[in-house]
Amino acid sequence: MIEEMERDERVFLMGEEVGHYQGAYKVSEGMLEKFGERRVIDTPIAEGGFAGVGVGAAMVGLRPIIEFMTWNFSAVAFDQILNNAAKIRQMSGGQFTCPIVFRGPNASARQVGSQHSHAMEHFYASIPGVKVVAPAFPADAKGLMKAAIRDDNPVLFMESETLYSVKGEVPDDLDVIPIGEANVVREGTDCSIITYSRMTHVAIEAAAALEKDGISVEIVDLRSLRPLDEAAIVQSVAKTHRCVVVHEGWPYGGVGAEIADRIQRLAFDSLDAPILRVAQLDVPMPYNAKLEQLCMPQPDRVIAAVKRVVSRGKRESGDS
């Protein structure tokens, strides 16, 4: 954000505690001192209000970054995202664009209760007119954030609350990572795991355990949920002939269901087994620590799903 604010004076940050407190998770640390209160703006606890201010600012030529302290609170601003940010270009016949980034921590943290544990990407990825991004690694977070800020469309940037402490290499010369391009983070031959955000790390842990049992897993980190990299998904499934979709939200009508539908439409002839999904249990998130872990997708559930699809008969070498 700092690099893009230095690059373009139209970019500003607005949200709860982003300034003097330096962000609820210290994401905006040092930004108020560097850019001042004109470009790093503390707001009241009124998500619908400051989201609407951001949409208006975007319509008249600025490039706002709107931080929700948690995406759970964005429900209060849902009307601004659904009916204004997503639709203003179409409703105005292209007279207005809405170059705005909505960002903040998403999904479960640790014992923050059911009202603070929603994986909200499922709601927003269904809306035409917005882009939805959910990175798993530091370099992807940086490159995709730069792309989001420069985009002339509304971009919803979902930052996993439990990934803020994850460290990784970020090249000094890293610029934009295009929105809509998945990344194969692990090559494999026996089963594809399609996933994103924190679940990419769960999948990596499961794949390491499966390797000890002689099962080779390929992991596709989507990075972007809307637009979705169909080509990368189909290419991986065509290679492995099996697929497990892993996501943190509820199973009913979620991102996993959308991915499974696209695979069966676009790569049905490549499948040797049914597509399985591993998701959060279909209940509100408990506060109790053990029950919370039980609800969330864990490596053991991913391992069981992969073993189930791999147990179906393998194709003979040379079969298509």
pLDDT, position 317: 38
pLDDT, position 14: 98
pLDDT, position 319: 36
pTM: 0.93
Q: Which domains does the chain have, with CATH numbers?
A: 2-160 (3.40.50.970), 183-310 (3.40.50.920)
Contacts of 2 by beta carbon, 8 Å cutoff, 6+ apart: 30, 31, 34
Catalytic residues: 47, 116
Contact 182, 229 (CB under 8 A): yes
Split the chain (320 residues) into runs of 10 and give each run's mean pLDDT. Answer: 97 97 94 97 96 98 96 95 96 96 91 86 95 97 98 97 92 93 97 97 98 97 97 98 95 92 96 96 91 94 97 53
- Long-range contacts made by residues 19-23, C-beta under 8 angstroms, separation at least 24? 23/67
